[in-house]
Amino acid sequence: MKKEFLVYIAILVVALMFPVLVDDVYIMHTGVLAFIYILLATGLNLLTGYTGQLSLAHASFFGVGAYTSAILTVTYGWGFWPAIIASAVLAGVCGIFLGFPALKLKGPYLVMSTIGFVHITHELFLNWVSVTRGPMGITGIDFPPGFNLGEFAVDFSNPHHYFYLVLFWVVIVFIFVYSLINSKMGRGLKAIRENDIAAECLGINLKSYKLFAFSIGALFAGIAGSLYVHYIGYVSPDSFTLAESINILVMVILGGMGTLLGPIFGAVGITFLLENMRFLAEYRLIIYGIILMLIMFFAPGGLMGYVLKFTAGRNNEKLKMVQEDE
C-alpha cells in the first residue's frame, strides 16, 4: 500500500517540476495536450479497461464538453468555472444515452453502436449551424481568468501556467478513480468485465453499474473538452471524429487497460511520440504504426502490464516470506 503511494507521489512531483525544468514553449504546449489526453484516457479506461465495455464514442463526449464550454462562454458570456462544470455534467448525461444500448449489446455489436454514436455527434456539430456555427467552428474563446498568487501573477495564456490548471483536474480525477476502484463499487465494475452473469447473480445491478461507468467516463471527457477549447481558443467539428476516439483507445490499450497508471503513460507517451516524430514527415505515421505493433507484440498487456509482470513476480516472493514468518 505505502509503496504504491510513493510511486504516485513521485509521479506527481515530476509533473509539478515539469514546467519549472522546461523552458521551451513548444514542449510545454505538447505537455498541456498530453495531460488533457490523460483525462480522456482515464475516463475511457474506467469504461473499457475496468468495466469491459469497449467504446469508440469517447471523442463524442470530448466534443460535447468542448462545444458546451465554447457556447456558454462565447455566446452566453458565462465564466470559465461554471462552464467547465456544465461541460462535465452535460457530457455525463450524454454518456448515459450511449449507455442504454450497452445494456443489451456486447462485444462487436456494442462497438458498432458506439461508432454510430460518434458519427451522430460529429454530424450534429457540423450541421447544427445555428448553435455550433457548423464547419466554421467557434472562435474567440478566452483563456480562463488569471489571478494573483501573492506576488506571482498566474496567467493562463502561458502554457507553463495552463499546465498546472490541467494538472489540477488530472489529480482530482485520479483521486476519484483511485477511490472508486478500491471500493465495493470498483470491484463491482471489474466483476462485470470478468463475468457479467456471475456478477449479477451476486447482487450487482448491471444496469446501474454500466450506466454509471458510461456516465463517469463521459464526464471526465467533458472536463477535458472544456480545458481543450479554453486552451486552443477555438473549436471545430473535425476534432471529434472516430479517428480521435481510436487515438484515445490506443492510449488506453498501449498504456495498459484496467490499470491506474496505464492511461497516464499511454497519453503522455503517444502525445509526445507523435509530436517528436514530425521530422519524419510522410514516414511519421508508418513508423508510429510499426512502433504500436511492436509494443503490442512484446507487451500485450500494455506498458503497465509489462511493468506489473515484473513487480508481481517480486511481490509473490515477498508474500511467501511473510507467510513463512507467520
Per CB under 8 A, residues contacting other proteins are 175-176, 179-180, 182-185, 187-188, 190-191, 194-195, 197-206, 258, 316, 319, 323
Phi, then psi, of 148 in degrees rounded to 5: -100, 130
We find the least distance from the C-beta atom of residue 180 to other proteins, in angstroms, to be 7
Could you give the CA distance from residue 186 to residue 189 in angstroms, rounded to a whole number? 5
The residues, ordered by sequence, that sit 6+ positions from 78 with a Cβ below 8 Å of its Cβ are 72, 86
Least Å distance, CB 317 to other proteins, is 12
d(CA 252, CA 305): 12
Based on CB atoms, which residue is closest to other proteins, 202 or 294? 202
The percent of the chain in helix, strand and coil, each rounded to the nearest 5, is: 80, 0, 20
Rank residues 185 and 292 by Cβ distance to other proteins and give the closer one: 185
Q: What would the DSSP string read from start to end of 30-95?
A: HHHHHHHHHHHHHHHIIIIIIS----S-HHHHHHHHHHHHHIIIIIT---HHHHHHHHHHHHHHHH
Rounded to whole angstroms, the Cα distance separating 220 from 107 reads 23
In the complex, least distance from residue 186 CB atom to other proteins, rounded to whole angstroms: 8
Q: What is the nearest approach in angstroms of other proteins to the Cβ of residue 200? A: 4
Q: Minimum Å distance from CB 178 to other proteins?
A: 9
Nearer to other proteins, 188 or 225 (CB): 188
| Smallest gap from residue 176 Cβ to other proteins (A) | 7
Question: Among residues 191 and 251, whose Cβ is nearest to other proteins?
Answer: 191
Instruction: Give whichever of 131 and 172 is closer to other proteins, judged by the CB atom.
Output: 172
CA distance 253 to 58: 14
Question: Of 139 and 179, which CB lies nearer to other proteins in the complex structure?
Answer: 179
Rounded to 5 degrees, what are φ and ψ at 102?
Answer: -65, -15
Cβ atoms of residues 126 and 137 within 8 Å: no
